[in-house]
Amino acid sequence: MSQSTSSRSTWSNRWAFILVTIGSAVGLGNIWKFSYIAGASEGSVGIFVVVYLACVALIGLPLLMAEILIGRRGRGNPVVAMLNTARESGNSPWWALLGWVGIFGALMILSFYSVVSGWMVDYFWHSLVEGVQVGTPEAAVAAYDELMSNPLRLSFWHTIFMILATGVVARGVIGGIETANKIMLPLLFLILVLLTLWGAAVGDMPTALRFMFNLKVEAIKPGVVLDGMGHAFFSLSLGMGAIMAYGSYLDKRTSIGNTCVWIVVAGVFIGLLCGAAIFSLTFGFDLTPDTGPGLMLKTLPLAFTHMPGGRVFATLFFLFVIFAAWTSAISLLEPFVSWLTERYGIRRARAAWATALPVWLLGVAVCLSFNDWSEYRIFDRNLFGVLDHLATRFIMPLSGLAIAIYVGWRLGKVIVVDEIRLKQRAFTLWFNVLRYVVPVGISLVFLYELGGTALLIYVVPAGILLVFFIIKQVLRDWLK
């Protein structure tokens, strides 16, 4: 195992880090959530996709680089990394609270993420053992509802998935996390390519591509624009401490900028390829793409039932989703596990299982919120909805906003330049985008969540003026 100067484990090479970070970023957000949000955009899918791609470049990439920068400079779990960099730059140690926000946000997400992943394990198992047997839309909905109404079945698959994720983290950085991603990511990509080719052969790929990339100016709506912006943030696992924790194992020789470009391009490519595969099957079998979060479990089983080789490809598809969810769940568990091992000297295996237990218990409560506890609601949401909304709509954007402010305004340019090591023009562009565009973009999403469309009447013009100011400053720097 390679070591850093502080005797801290590091990834075996640059590509290992790229793989594990892609594994963290490519999860249910890129597959399940991208497909159903795009499918529900009602004629605005092209706008959603374009906004998503633009925001990945303008918000996701700069923030990804900033999180990795903090992790590598701080050489510790998110709490320690924030504390170390704050001390080095002469900032308040209270910035370490940002590390805690990310850690507990990650564990909160994992509690319901594991439940949703358990649904995929259930469908994979039934596809493997019995085959897909849903001949009508009513049968597909009934199969989905039957799963949701069974707390023991939900809890069982949630437990299986938590064991899978915890077992990998317990084996360590190199032997567990890196090895698992080296195996699962190539398999994930291979399965996705096969599914896309099969979708093109038996489905309707031209219609799927037109659906995804057909731009209609009249379809631009505040909700669609902000959905694209919010999903770009969610799909890269930002603001949860996971990327910061992975960055702490990155050696000093690796270029953060070049590495992050690979990560973002791969994540976007896999997300779009998966959308093309899903929508080609959806349209090829005359199904509707606007069935909401249940798109994969209510719509796709119908396509698999009626397509040649459907049982094989249903099994491969759900295996693909499980791999994607598995690699992301590992990254959600790692930040707190690394804190326990570094703070108290607890053996990694014990720390992993100790962390997983309360997360598993909260996940069981999430399972019950779909059935036995469904009458208990907060703001008209069950426990699943509350945790999802709180984590992805509040904790993640606020954490990302704080990271952008910390690196862009508080950390100090000398430290940032030393870690990023980009050419002057590239650095100036990235640094200005991080300081101005990222906070404005995240604030738009957050304010929209709080106050709705009315706030945009005041915020958008100010944001546009700020963007023009940034462009002016960047051009001035380049022309010097």
Long-range (24+ apart) CB contacts under 8 A made by 472-480 are 473/432, 474/428, 474/429, 474/432, 477/425, 477/428, 478/425, 478/428
Separation between Cα atoms, residue 63 and residue 437, nearest integer Å: 11
* Cα 396–Cα 264–Cα 45 angle in degrees, nearest 5: 75
CB atoms within 10 A of CB 355: 23
- For CA atoms 412, 415, 419, 420, the dihedral sign is positive
Count CA atoms closer than 13 A to 437's CA, side-chain side.
24
pLDDT along the chain (480 residues), means of 10: 50 86 78 66 68 85 95 94 95 93 93 94 91 76 90 97 96 87 86 85 87 70 65 76 91 89 86 84 76 67 80 87 90 94 92 96 96 89 88 82 93 93 91 90 72 51 57 56
Coil, helix or strand at residue 378: strand
Model pLDDT, residue 12: 83
Model pLDDT, residue 454: 45
Amino acid at 71: G
Separation between Cα atoms, residue 399 and residue 114, nearest integer Å: 22
Separation between Cα atoms, residue 420 and residue 255, nearest integer Å: 7
Token pair, residue 204, equals: 């309707």
H-assigned helices in 130-178: 137-148, 151-170
pTM of the predicted model as reported, rounded to 2 decimal places:
0.86
- What residues have CB less than 8 Å from 400, skipping those under 6 apart? 63, 233, 238, 239, 438, 442
Give the residues across from 381 on adjacent strands.
378
Model pLDDT, residue 313: 84
Q: How many residues does the chain have?
A: 480
Amino acid at 381: R
Give the residues across from 378 on adjacent strands.
381
Count CA atoms closer than 13 A to 209's CA, side-chain side.
8
Model pLDDT, residue 465: 57
Model pLDDT, residue 219: 58
**DSSP code, position 11:** -
Residue 384 burial (CB < 10 Å; 0-12/13-18/19+)? buried
Separation between Cα atoms, residue 280 and residue 278, nearest integer Å: 6
C-alpha 101, offset from chain centre: 17
Coil, helix or strand at residue 153: helix
Q: How far is CA 411 from CA 78, 148, 474, in A?
A: 15, 47, 21
H-assigned helices in 345-369: 348-368
Q: How far is CA 314 from CA 12, 306, 320, 406, in A?
A: 35, 11, 10, 45
Separation between Cα atoms, residue 251 and residue 245, nearest integer Å: 13
CB atoms within 10 A of CB 213: 13
Model pLDDT, residue 279: 83
Amino acid at 13: N
